[in-house]
Amino acid sequence: MTTLPITISPEVAAALEAGRPVVALETTIVTHGMPPPDNLQTALAAEAAIRAEGAVPATIAVIDGRIHVGLSPEALAALAATEGVLKLSRADLAWALAIGATGSTTVAATMICARAAGIAVFATGGIGGVHRGVEESLDISADLTELAETPVTVVSAGAKAILDLPRTLEALETRGVPVIGWRTRRFPAFWSRDSGLPVPLTAEDEGQIARAHRMRAALGLPGGQLVCNPIPEAAEIPLAEIAPAIAAAEAEARAQAIAGKALTPFLLARINAITAGRALAANRALVLANARLGARIAVAMARCGRPS
Ligand code: PSU
Ligand code: MN
């Protein structure tokens, strides 16, 4: 058997050993989701937000062919400053480990690594989903498949309105992924608190989410849960205001034939530019809010015993 090349930081390992709350964080948002210096600042602020709630942050990346769970500030800064870092998802994670590559992890790859380390909660910005024009492109993020297969509770601000949101919700339903609004009955759309669509389930407290995670394990169900935390009101960009920026970015992507892995980073960068940084500020605010909620869910899970 090949042993998995994984390094868990001493702080994260000690917390997991003692059954203390741990929250995983992804790094594609650092390398492909935000420009410097906001990318590193946001990543460090998310770690601080998790600590402030009494949990331990575990930022995940692949460095020289090893999974690292819990990055030093130096390692995180180096990743944030490197250009051309690979964006690793389910399809490329094993390959990157086999050839000794360095890469950031998407929601899907971060879930795989979190599970390997024994971490049950993960906070991100927004998940990937079904892209608009899926009839032509067949572009559906591997994040949806991973949510169906890997038992990690993912805290997001919903899915970006650059996606086909009704189809994204249908795909999650088909795959048996619980989509849980945090104190809302509306499916949030990343920069906006309300996508115009209802969310299937609503949680009023962290304990409900922690218990549902364990109940899925008791049922023998694979897969995780998607928690949808609406962006804080002060930072929100209502759908009607962000829609023209999305449409413009999409038109540019079509004109330049941007597709596949490059599409999400391209659209995010264009929308940040078109909104003169307002979308970036919103992105930062929602990541921090998700980190805080993820930590509170991890605390609730630790209270009801070790996650399984
Ligand atoms: N949300 C963000 N910024 C990002 C992403 C999500 O605010 O950079 C990343 C996540 O890592 C997610 C990925 O898993 O985009 C989805 O990419 P794709 O659509 O290629 O699966
Ligand atoms: Mn894709």
Give the rounded percent of residues in the chain with a pLDDT score beyond 70.
99
The predicted structure's pLDDT at residue 59: 98
**131 DSSP 8-state letter:** B
Strand-pairing partners, residue 163, are 131
The yes-or-no verdict on residue 99 having pLDDT over 90 is: yes
Ligand 1 geometric centre to CA of 264 (Å):
6
CATH T-level fold of 6-303: Indigoidine synthase fold (3.40.1790)
- pLDDT tens-digit map of 195-230: 999 999 999 999 999 999 999 999 999 999 999 999
Say which ligand is closest to the CA of 90. 1
Which atom of ligand 1 has the smallest separation from the CA of 160? 1
User: CB-based contacts of 10: which residues, under 8 Å, 6+ apart?
Assistant: none
The predicted structure's pLDDT at residue 307: 47
Q: Cβ(105)–Cβ(44) under 8 Å?
A: no
- pLDDT tens-digit map of 136-149: 989 999 999 999 99
Could you say which of 26, 206, 236, 250 is catalytic? 26
Q: 76 to each of 8, 28, 107, 304, how far by Cα in Å?
A: 15, 12, 17, 32
Find out whether the beta carbon of 32 lies less than 6 Å from any atom of ligand 1: yes
* Confidence (pTM): 0.96
With the most atoms of ligand 1 within 8 angstroms of its CB, the residue from 27, 29, 132, 191 to mutate is 29
User: CB-based contacts of 9: which residues, under 8 Å, 6+ apart?
Assistant: 58, 68, 69, 70, 71, 72
Interatomic CA distance for residues 155 and 121, integer angstroms:
8
Q: 20 to each of 133, 209, 295, how far by Cα in Å?
A: 44, 17, 11
Find out whether the beta carbon of 264 lies less than 6 Å from any atom of ligand 1: yes
Residue ranges of domains in the chain = 6-303
Q: What b/e string do you get for 264-290 counting C-beta neighbours within 10 Å, with b at 16 or more?
A: bbbbbbbbbebbeebbbbbbbbbbbbb
**Where is average pLDDT lowest: 13-27, 96-110, 198-212, 251-265?**
251-265
Ligand 2 geometric centre to CA of 32 (Å):
14
User: CB-based contacts of 127: which residues, under 8 Å, 6+ apart?
Assistant: 107, 141, 143, 144, 147, 154, 156, 158, 159, 226
Interatomic CA distance for residues 228 and 181, integer angstroms:
5
The pLDDT of 272-291, averaged and rounded, is: 97
The yes-or-no verdict on residue 76 having pLDDT over 80 is: yes
Helices (H), 202-238: 206-218
Closest CA to 166 of 196, 127, 122: 196
The predicted structure's pLDDT at residue 1: 78
User: Which residue in this structure is represented by tokens 């994040």?
Assistant: 143
Find out whether the beta carbon of 129 lies less than 6 Å from any atom of ligand 1: no
Query: For the packed helices 73-81 and 38-52, what is the interaxial angle rounded to 10 degrees?
Result: 150
User: CB-based contacts of 138: which residues, under 8 Å, 6+ apart?
Assistant: none
User: CB-based contacts of 232: which residues, under 8 Å, 6+ apart?
Assistant: 285, 286, 289
The predicted structure's pLDDT at residue 306: 52
